[in-house]
Amino acid sequence: MTQQPKPDPLILVYKELTDRELKKLQAISNITQSGGGARDLRVPAKTFRSAMHRIFTTTKTASNGKTIRTAQVSYRNGNDVGTTELEYWPPTDSRPREDRVARVHASPALGGRLPASNRGRVFVLFIRWSNGEVGCYYAYENDLRRRGVWGPEVRDAILGCMTDTDLKNANRAGNKVSVQGYIDFTNGEVFCHASV
């Protein structure tokens, strides 16, 4: 049997799951103001849309008439590979500057599991591969900080963004930004939202 060559990553978008978002994912939130879309993963529309549209490439009209983007996300299902659809939605009226990935928590894209709670800060990663597949993953701070676990490009980008974001938040009383950014492997661009 010939082994398929492993695909290269084309673009990777990462976003930290804050404590609040983790609670939402675990559906234990008692934060009443979190709203109905609490379990959606939100990203700043202006800076992330072009990157996210390279991952969510299919255009579709949702049941409410809105035009959304979708991606078939591949995931391991035992010894098989399954696919599931994830949706990328434009902003709502109440949050006009945020796009969102809908219902990640309910999707098998992340292996149907909640993130571990004992491996440091948690990130969700979306990766578009050169073979056309899209993957969705968890990444943990403890793994990122250990040498020889994550590839240096990913490790450096996320840890660097974490530092920049923490510095930015240290000077803010409220409205903290989360660690989020992307790596464009096709041209080497590394974007961290806190650096804007």
Partner 1 sequence: MPVSEEETEFEIEPDARAVLQALARRKNVIITGPPGTGKSRLLNQVRALFEWDSGSTGSDPYGDIPLPAERGPIPAWFPSPDQIESRHTFPTVFDQNTKYRDFMRGLVPQVTNPGAFIVTSGTLYRASVHAAEDGNAALVIVDEINRGPAVAAFGSALVGLESDKRRGAEGEQRFEILNDFGESVTYSLPPDLYVLGAMNEADTSVEPLDVAFLRRFAPYRLEPHAEVLRPHLGLGRTPDGTLPDTPSDPSTVYEALARAWARVNHQITLARGAAYQLGHGALMHRTAPTADLPAAQEYTQEAWATLRGHLDEVFYGDTRAMVDLLLAEDDRSPYTLEEGTFAGQAVSRILGPTRPDSEQLYLLLRLISQE
What is the contact surface with partner 1 in residues (CB under 8 A)? Answer: 6-9, 12, 74-76, 81, 125, 127, 129, 133, 135, 137, 139, 143, 146-155
Q: What are phi and psi of 52, to 5 degrees?
A: -65, -30
Nearer to partner 1, 52 or 127 (CB): 127
Label the pairing between strands 180-184 and 189-192: antiparallel
CB of 85 to partner 1, least distance (A): 18
Cβ distance to partner 1 smaller for residue 8 or 166? 8
Q: How far is CA 66 from the centre of its chain?
A: 22
Instruction: Retrieve residue 16's tokens.
Output: 């930290």
Supply the minimum distance, in Å, between the C-beta of residue 83 and partner 1: 12
Q: Using the minimum distance from each CB to partner 1, give the nearer residue, 85 or 143.
A: 143
Residues paired with 80 in a beta bridge: 77
Enumerate residues 6+ apart whose C-beta is below 8 A from 163.
Answer: none
Sole residue written with tokens 């659809």: 85
User: In angstroms, what is the minimal distance from the CB of 145 to partner 1?
Assistant: 8
- What H or E segment, with its residue span, contains residue 180? strand 180-184
Q: Are strands 58-61 and 134-140 parallel, antiparallel or unpaired?
A: unpaired
Measured from the CB of residue 6, what is the shortest distance to partner 1 in angstroms? 4
Closest approach of Cβ 149 to partner 1, in Å? 6
The CB-of-73 to partner 1 minimum distance in angstroms stands at 11
**Within 10 A of 112 (CB to CB), how many other CB atoms are there?**
12
Both tokens assigned to 155: 């490790």
Nearer to partner 1, 31 or 149 (CB): 149
Tokens standing for residue 108? 């098998």
Choose between 125 and 179: whose C-beta lies nearer to partner 1. 125
Q: How far is CA 127 from the centre of its chain?
A: 9
Nearer to partner 1, 129 or 191 (CB): 129
